[in-house]
C-alpha cells in the first residue's frame, strides 16, 4: 500500500508535533493491526502486562508494551503497510527507519483520563526522527480521543508522571533536573490543545516528546488502541534520571548518552 503525505501534513508534524492521517490503513492493514493487537492482549509481556494504570469503578482497562516476542509477530504486518514510508516522509531527512516497540491499550466503560505526560520522559532516546503511530480500532469522537499541546515537542522536557489519581503531576524521578509537569487540566485555557475525531483506518502520528493525555471514556464506551514507535537516522541514546525504556535486555549497558540509537534487537524497516 502507498500513501502520499501532503505538504500540510508534513508541516503539521514538523511544527505542531502531531498530525491525523485519514484512511492511512486499508481494511487489510487494519485487520493485520488487529491480529497484532489481539496477540499482544493474549500474550502479556514482562513489562506491565495487564497493568491497570487508569483503573476506576465500573471500568475495565489493560496496557502492555515492549514484549520481546512482539517484533517477530509485528514485522510482516509493518512491512506490508505504508507506515514506514510515511514516517520517512514526515521526518523528511532520514534514510532509514527501525521499529522500536509496540504498546497496546484497552479502556472499556467509564474510566478517568490518562494523565498528561511526554513519552520521551520515559525513553532513553532523543532526536527529530522519532514517531508514534496511534491506531484506534473504534470510531472515537474528539472529546474521547488523545489530546496534545501543540508544538510541545519543541519545548521543555518534563519529569514523568506517576499517573496518580490524587496528583496527576506527581514526579516519577526523584533526582535530576527535569521540571514537574504542568497541571493542564487545572488551567486548559493556558494551553493550545489539539484533539482529533478518528475512524477505523485513520492514524494519528506524533513525536514522543509531545505533551499529551488520553480523554476519559464514557459508560458503555470502548477504546482499543495499538501504538507502534519507530526511529530514524538522528536518534541518539539519552539517559534519564532513573530506570527507563525501551526495556530491551542489554541496551542500557551497551549505549551511552550521545551514541547512535542502534541495537541488534531493533528491526530495520527501511
pLDDT bracket for residue 47 (50, 70, 90): confident
Report the distance separating Cα 269 and Cα 262, nearest Å.
13
Segments making up each domain of the chain, as ranges: 7-245
Q: Does residue 53 surpass a pLDDT of 50?
A: no
Q: What pLDDT, on a 0 to 100 scale, did the predictor assign at position 58?
A: 65
Report the distance separating Cα 248 and Cα 66, nearest Å.
8
Q: Is 243 helix (H, G, I), strand (E, B) or coil?
A: coil
Question: Is 17 within 8 Å of 152 (Cβ atoms)?
Answer: yes
Mean pLDDT computed over 71-86: 98
Nearest CA to 33 out of 21, 44, 43, 24 is that of 24
Report the distance separating Cα 225 and Cα 158, nearest Å.
25
Q: Which of 164-173, 199-208, 219-228 has the lowest mean pLDDT?
A: 219-228
Q: Does residue 60 surpass a pLDDT of 90?
A: no
Q: What pLDDT, on a 0 to 100 scale, did the predictor assign at position 49?
A: 53
HSE on the CB side for 221, CA within 13 Å?
A: 17
pTM: 0.94
Mean pLDDT computed over 56-78: 88
Q: What pLDDT, on a 0 to 100 scale, did the predictor assign at position 215?
A: 78
Q: What pLDDT, on a 0 to 100 scale, did the predictor assign at position 57?
A: 60
Q: Does residue 122 surpass a pLDDT of 90?
A: yes
pLDDT bracket for residue 110 (50, 70, 90): confident
Neighbours of 95 (CB within 10 A): 10
Q: Does residue 108 surpass a pLDDT of 90?
A: no
Residue-wise pLDDT tens digits, 142-190: 998 999 999 999 999 999 999 888 899 999 999 999 999 999 999 999 9
High-pLDDT (> 90) share of the chain, %: 82
Per CATH, is 7-245 categorized as 2.60.40.10?
Answer: no
The torsion angle over the Cα atoms of residues 81, 1, 144 and 104, rounded to 10 degrees, is -10
Which residues on neighbouring strands pair with residue 65, listed in sequence order? 103
Amino acid at each position: 500500500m502507498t500513501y502520499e503525505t501532503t505538504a500540510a501534513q508534513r508541516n503539521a508534524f514538523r511544527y505542531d508535533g502531531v498530525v491525523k492521517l485519514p484512511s492511512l490503513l486499508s481494511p487489510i492493514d487494519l485487520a493485520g493491526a488487529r491480529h497484532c493487537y489481539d496477540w499482544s492482549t493474549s500474550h502479556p509481556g514482562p513489562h506491565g502486562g495487564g497493568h491497570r494504570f487508569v483503573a476506576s469503578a465500573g471500568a475495565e482497562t489493560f496496557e502492555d508494551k515492549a514484549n520481546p516476542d512482539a517484533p517477530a509477530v509485528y514485522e510482516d504486518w509493518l512491512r506490508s503497510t505504508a507506515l514506514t514510508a510515511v514516517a520517512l516522509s514526515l521526518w523528511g531527512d532520514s534514510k532509514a527507519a527501525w521499529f522500536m516497540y509496540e504498546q497496546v491499550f484497552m479502556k472499556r466503560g467509564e474510566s478517568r483520563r490518562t494523565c498528561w505526560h511526554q513519552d520521551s520522559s520515559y525513553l532513553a532516546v532523543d532526536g527529530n526522527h522519532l514517531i508514534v503511530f496511534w491506531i484506534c480500532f473504534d470510531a472515537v469522537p474528539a472529546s474521547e480521543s488523545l489530546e496534545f499541546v501543540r508544538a510541545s515537542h519543541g519545548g521543555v522536557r518534563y519529569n514523568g508522571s506517576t499517573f496518580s489519581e490524587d496528583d496527576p503531576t506527581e514526579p516519577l524521578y526523584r533526582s535530576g533536573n527535569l521540571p514537574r509537569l504542568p497541571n493542564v487540566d487545572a488551567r486548559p485555557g493556558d494551553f493550545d490543545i489539539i484533539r482529533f475525531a478518528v475512524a477505523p483506518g485513520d492514524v494519528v502520528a506524533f513525536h514522543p516528546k509531545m505533551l499529551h493525555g488520553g480523554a476519559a471514556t464514557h459508560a458503555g464506551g470502548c477504546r482499543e488502541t495499538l501504538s507502534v514507535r519507530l526511529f530514524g537516522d538522528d536518534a541518539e541514546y539519552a539517559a534519564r534520571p532513573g530506570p527507563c525504556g525501551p526495556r530491551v535486555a542489554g541496551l542500557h549497558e551497551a549505549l551511552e548518552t550521545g551514541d547512535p540509537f542502534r541495537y541488534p534487537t531493533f528491526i530495520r524497516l527501511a
